[in-house]
Amino acid sequence: MRTTLVLVVFSFLGLISMPGQAASVSIQNLRMWRAPDNTRLVLDLSGPLNHKIFRLKNPDRIVIDIESASLSKPMPVMTFDGPIIKSIRTGHRGNGDLRIVLDLKRVTQPKSFLLKPFQSYGYRLVIDLDHTPDADDPEFEKDKPAAIESASPREPSTPVLPPRRSEIVIAIDAGHGGEDPGAIGRRYRTREKHVVLSIAKELKRLVDREPNMRAVMTRKGDYFVPLARRVHMAQDARADIFISIHADSLPKKRARGASVYALSQRGATSRLAKRLADQENASDYIGGILENKDPIVQKVLVDLNQTSTIVDSLALGRDILTSLKPVGDIHSANVEQAGFAVLKSPFMPSVLIETAFISNPSEEKRLRTHRFQRQMAQGIFSGIRRYVKRKDLRPLPRAVPSGTVRHNDETRVHIVRRGETLSGIAQRYGVKLQALRVANNISGTSVQAGESLQIPGL
Ligand SMILES: [Zn+2]
């Protein structure tokens, strides 16, 4: 049988040179996580390693050769149900190298990288196998913008009114997942990622029951999603509100109660807020991303729009906090602020809810119960509804940025909503701030809610 070498990727990431000797690495564990769009394999290692990964055909398979390595215990051939991997087998090569073979159900492009030790996690080798994107995911498909067509210069004489979007979109973000378990309970070793997903699903059910609301989830199962990707998913779905759900830990066993957080552009409002933000932001290092290049996470927040979004986030947080009071203890009476990466969208009010402390044994016990999960979801949901009602949020036209009214084929008019800034509006429509000023004869930067602005053409 002829085999064809399709791709060779060498990875030298994280290599530590050890002159004079090739250190033997032991592979201690192998985990597999399946997301809608990829399958991730993670190998726990006794130290750094040197590896090659390549594809072979007839039959399709991926081979990972690891220099001078061994398995800490024999691994039987494993078979799988998923969409990509049929089976995994291992073998020793004569030169002391270890070979891992992934037999495939269909061709896929592998990516691999080494994660350096972080907190309690040692060296890990991550192998990502892309599936074809989950094209028929109805949650995220609904809002794929069709706007470009209506704005097309080819048919300027045919004004196309965008269809009315009939729902307010709530993005629900269950923290952590997959390789990143989040905080772990003391008494039952409960993993934060599992309880927050249950609460998130419960919240989705409540939101979807409302006639004018729809929920989208940034993760639906036990797999890792990078922080910036969570924000992008919500933005792509044109979410109006972003809710991140957590249940973190503190060394102090007695710490208890729910708290709500918003983004801060400066320092944190308390030591606890800073601590939790650091804990949450570590997710990318634990869950594993190759490198953090994303502008959302790294950007210095100078956008004026961010300031008004934070004002909205604080209002949303207060409404949720009020609604959580009947559910159980409240840890901080005010919405606290810190630099949470997952709350960095300048476009939608975003809050992070610490539902309870998983480090408190009695709260851990409650977090595991369906009853508490349901009550917590109900509390968050009431807060969202309170906010939506108070802000008089209405479903916005889909397929064009929020607030657009298309008067005729040539003019776009934006009705300013409370909290919006001129620079934010300019950014939203992709026009220069100066052009927006000129078109509307504005010399300063302030705009009034309810004012209508002409949006200069493209
Ligand atoms: Zn968390």
What separation in Å is there between the alpha carbon of 379 and the centre of ligand 1?
Answer: 19
Is the confidence at residue 408, as pLDDT, over 50?
no
What separation in Å is there between the alpha carbon of 18 and the centre of ligand 1?
Answer: 37
Buried b (16+ CB within 10 A) or exposed e, 125-157: bbbbbebeeeeeeebbeebeeebeebbeeeeee
Is the confidence at residue 367, as pLDDT, over 90?
yes
What separation in Å is there between the alpha carbon of 14 and the centre of ligand 1?
Answer: 27
Enter the DSSP assignment of 440.
H
What separation in Å is there between the alpha carbon of 282 and the centre of ligand 1?
Answer: 10
Question: pLDDT at position 347, please?
Answer: 82
What separation in Å is there between the alpha carbon of 423 and the centre of ligand 1?
Answer: 33
CA proximity to 350, closest of 446, 234, 200: 234
What's the chain's average pLDDT? 81
60-94 confidence digits (pLDDT tens): 999 999 999 999 888 888 888 888 899 999 998 88
The lowest-confidence range among 137-146, 159-168, 308-317, 394-403 is 137-146
What separation in Å is there between the alpha carbon of 386 and the centre of ligand 1?
Answer: 25
- Under DSSP, is residue 180 helix (H, G, I), strand (E, B) or coil? strand
The lowest-confidence range among 241-245, 307-311, 453-457 is 453-457
Mean pLDDT on 388-417: 60
What separation in Å is there between the alpha carbon of 89 and the centre of ligand 1?
Answer: 35
CATH for 5-130, among 3.40.1350.10, 2.60.120.580, 2.60.40.3500, 3.50.50.60? 2.60.40.3500
Is the confidence at residue 148, as pLDDT, over 60?
no
Contact (Cβ atoms closer than 8 angstroms) between residue 64 and residue 100: yes
What separation in Å is there between the alpha carbon of 304 and the centre of ligand 1?
Answer: 28
Question: pLDDT at position 132, please?
Answer: 64
What separation in Å is there between the alpha carbon of 375 and the centre of ligand 1?
Answer: 19
What separation in Å is there between the alpha carbon of 175 and the centre of ligand 1?
Answer: 5
pTM for the full predicted model? 0.73
Question: pLDDT at position 139, please?
Answer: 52
> pLDDT band for position 173 (50/70/90)?
very high
What separation in Å is there between the alpha carbon of 354 and the centre of ligand 1?
Answer: 7
Question: pLDDT at position 293, please?
Answer: 53
What separation in Å is there between the alpha carbon of 367 and the centre of ligand 1?
Answer: 13
Topology annotation, domain 166-390: Aminopeptidase (3.40.630)
What separation in Å is there between the alpha carbon of 182 and the centre of ligand 1?
Answer: 5
Topology annotation, domain 404-455: Membrane-bound Lytic Murein Transglycosylase D; Chain A (3.10.350)
What separation in Å is there between the alpha carbon of 138 and the centre of ligand 1?
Answer: 27
What separation in Å is there between the alpha carbon of 157 and the centre of ligand 1?
Answer: 52
What separation in Å is there between the alpha carbon of 188 and the centre of ligand 1?
Answer: 17
What separation in Å is there between the alpha carbon of 192 and the centre of ligand 1?
Answer: 7
What separation in Å is there between the alpha carbon of 365 and the centre of ligand 1?
Answer: 17
Is the confidence at residue 165, as pLDDT, over 60?
no
Name the maximum alpha-carbon separation found in the chain.
78
What separation in Å is there between the alpha carbon of 200 and the centre of ligand 1?
Answer: 13
CA proximity to 130, closest of 154, 164, 104: 104
Is the confidence at residue 382, as pLDDT, over 80?
yes
> pLDDT band for position 239 (50/70/90)?
very high
Question: pLDDT at position 95, please?
Answer: 87
What separation in Å is there between the alpha carbon of 382 and the centre of ligand 1?
Answer: 22
What separation in Å is there between the alpha carbon of 161 and the centre of ligand 1?
Answer: 42
Question: pLDDT at position 23, please?
Answer: 58
Is the confidence at residue 397, as pLDDT, over 90?
no
What separation in Å is there between the alpha carbon of 360 and the centre of ligand 1?
Answer: 14
Q: What percent of the chain has pLDDT over 70?
A: 79
Distances (CA, A) of 440 to 68, 159, 412: 69, 22, 12
Mean pLDDT on 281-302: 64
> pLDDT band for position 407 (50/70/90)?
very low
The lowest-confidence range among 52-56, 265-269, 287-291, 310-314 is 287-291
Please indicate whether residue 134 or residue 417 has the higher confidence score (pLDDT): 417
Query: What is the token pair recorded at 39?
Result: 């399958």
What separation in Å is there between the alpha carbon of 404 and the centre of ligand 1?
Answer: 36
What separation in Å is there between the alpha carbon of 56 and the centre of ligand 1?
Answer: 40
113-137 confidence digits (pLDDT tens): 999 898 888 999 999 998 865 434 4
The domain ranges of the chain are: 5-130, 166-390, 404-455
What separation in Å is there between the alpha carbon of 225 and the centre of ligand 1?
Answer: 13
Query: What is the token pair recorded at 41?
Result: 């394999």
Please indicate whether residue 157 or residue 387 has the higher confidence score (pLDDT): 387
> pLDDT band for position 142 (50/70/90)?
very low
Question: pLDDT at position 291, please?
Answer: 60
Is the confidence at residue 318, as pLDDT, over 50?
yes
Please indicate whether residue 103 or residue 427 has the higher confidence score (pLDDT): 103
Judging by beta carbons within 10 Å of its beta carbon (0-12, 13-18, 19+), is residue 302 exposed, middle or buried?
A: exposed
The partner residues of 43 in beta bridges, in order of sequence, read 30, 125
What separation in Å is there between the alpha carbon of 259 and the centre of ligand 1?
Answer: 12
On the question of a common fold for 166-390 and 404-455, the answer reads no
